[in-house]
Copies of this chain bind each other. A is one copy, B any other.
Amino acid sequence: MTKVIRNGTIVTADRTWKADVLVKDGKIVAIGNDLHGDHEFDATGCYVMPGGIDPHTHLEMPFMGTYSADDFESGTRAALSGGTTMVVDFCLPSPGQSLLEAIQMWDNKSTRASCDYSFHMAITWWGEQVFNEMPEVVKRGITSFKHFMAYKGALMVDDDEMFSSFQRCAELGALPLVHAENGDVVAQLSQKLLAEGNNGPEGHAYSRPPEVEGEATNRAIMIADMAGVPLYVVHTSCEQSHEAIRRARQKGMRVFGEPLIQHLVLDETEYFDKDWDHAARRVMSPPFRNKQHQDSLWAGLSAGSLQVVATDHCAFTSDQKRFGVGDFTKIPNGTGGLEDRLPVLWTKGVNTGRLTPNEFVAVTSTNIAKILNMYPRKGAILEGADADIIVWDPEKIKTISSKAQQSVIDYNVFEGIQVKGLPRFVFTRGELAVNDGKVEAKPGHGQFVAREPHMAVNKALSTWKEVVAPRKIERTGIPATGV
C-alpha cells in the first residue's frame, strides 16, 4: 500500500521545490512530478517538510516522588499533533544505579510511544561502573551523554567528574551534553532569597540569572576543549551562554547550542504575574529571560551559532506545581511545548522574516538529525529516508489553548498566542498521525532509533587535537643525569 503527497512544495534545510512524495513501507520511495499511489493526500498550497525532531524531552520523568505528567503516550501524541515526529528523551539513572538498568526502565516507559524516539543517557553519578558501562550504552545506540551542572545534591556532577566523563566520551566518539548552570551558586542564592522572604515563583528566576548560566556554559566548553570532544549545550537561554558558545566556535571549537521555543518567545515578565499559578506554571530552568536575550537567540539561529530549537518538554500539572507554594525551590521545574514548538516558531520566526523556511526545517529537524547522527534517516525528504513528514499549511490559523491540547496538563504557557502555520497532515514512518488537522496517533507505533558514534565532527576534532598535542622536549643537561 502506497501513499502519495501531491501538489505540495517541498521545503528542506537546503532547498525548496515543487514535487510529489511517494511513501511505501514507512519510507520515502520516490520524489518527483505527478506521482500516484493508493492513498493520495492533497498538499496544494502547503509545504512538505521533514517531521520535527525534539532533541530534548522528559516524558514520565521521576521527580520528587512524582512523575512529569505527560508520558510517552500523551507526549508523543502532543508531538505529532504539532508536527513533531520524533523525540529524544533523557534516560536518568538514580545515583549509583546501573546505566543499563536505567535503559531498561526507559524502554519500559516508551512502549506506548506513537512516534519514534531515541534516548540521551544522563551521567548522574561517576564511578568505575559508569566508566565501564558507557561503551555498552553506546553500543545500544545511545551516543550522547547528558551532564547536569546544577541541581546540587541531586543530579549535579562536579568539574572533576565532568572532565572524566567528557574524556570517556572522546574515546567512545560520543557527544556530551550539558545543562549549564552553576549549581553551587544557584543553591546559595535560593537559600538567600528564601531567607529574605522571596519565596514566590519569581524567586526561581532571581536565583538563576543569566550570568550563572553563562558561566557554566563557558566552563563546560573549556572542559570539552581539554577533553578534545564536541559539546552540545541544552536550553541555551541567554546572551551570556550564547556569547560563550560563539566565542568558542570562533576559535574553531565544536560547540552546539539549543534554544528552546519558550525562551525565544516568552519573557521574564511572566514570573511577575500577580497570579501565583500563572507564574509557577512557567517555572523551568533556566527561567525565561528578557527581550535582549531573545534577540540574541534569534540571531544565533540565523547566524548558525545556535543550531536547534527544542522544548525541554517536562509537563507538570497545576496541582504538582503547587507543591512549591511558599517555597519556590519545591516547584517542579518544567513546562510543556511539544505540541506548539513548530507553529510558534513558524509564526514568530518565518512569518516575520527572522528565519527562512529552510532555516526553519534546519533548526527543527535536519540539524538535530545531523548532530545526533540520524541523518538522513531522519530530518530529510530524500528517497530512502523514513517517511516522517509534515504537510504544512502556512495559511492555517489557531489560537493556542490548553482546552484543545493533547498534553494532559491543565494549562499551556503559550495560551492565547495566535499561530499562523499548522500541519494539515503528519506522517510518522508513513502512518498518518494528523489527518486534515485531526490527531490520529497510534500508541506503540513508535520505535527506538539507535545511533552510531564517531560523528564526522568527533573524528575531525580528534585529528586536530593530535596535530596540536603537546610534544615532549628532548633534553640535554638534565640535572639528575649529572649536570
Contact = CB atoms under 8 A, between A and B. Distances in A.
A228 B301 CA distance: 19
Q: Considering residues A277, A318, A355, A479, which has the most beta carbons from chain B within 10 angstroms of its beta carbon?
A: A479
Report copies per complex: 4
Contact of A225 (B211, B226, B247, B479): B211
A456 interface: yes
Contacts of A472: 197-198, 200, 202-203
Contact of A200 (B14, B305, B356, B475): B475
Given A185-B226, A356-B457, A477 B202 contact: no
Contact of A477 (B272, B277, B303, B466): B277
A298 interface: yes
Interface string A462-473: 111111001011
Size band of the interface chain A makes with B: 35 or more
Interface string A89-109: 000000000000000000000
B276 A478 contact: yes
Interface in A191-227: 193, 197-198, 200, 202-203, 206, 209, 211-212, 214-215, 218-219, 222-223, 225-226
B354 A460 contact: yes
B464 A354 contact: yes
Contact of A300 (B167, B250, B326, B350): B250
A164 interface: yes
User: Nearest 6 CB-CB pairs, A to B?
Assistant: A353-B463, A353-B464, A304-B304, A252-B299, A206-B470, A249-B303
15 contacts: A15-B376, A163-B185, A164-B188, A246-B250, A249-B302, A250-B300, A252-B298, A254-B302, A274-B477, A276-B478, A277-B477, A277-B479, A353-B459, A356-B456, A356-B459
Interface of A: 13-16, 158-160, 163-164, 167, 182, 184-185, 187-189, 193, 197-198, 200, 202-203, 206, 209, 211-212, 214-215, 218-219, 222-223, 225-226, 243, 246-247, 249-252, 254, 271-277, 279, 292, 295-296, 298-300, 302-305, 318, 322, 325-326, 350-359, 366, 370, 375-376, 383, 456-457, 459-467, 470, 472-480, 483
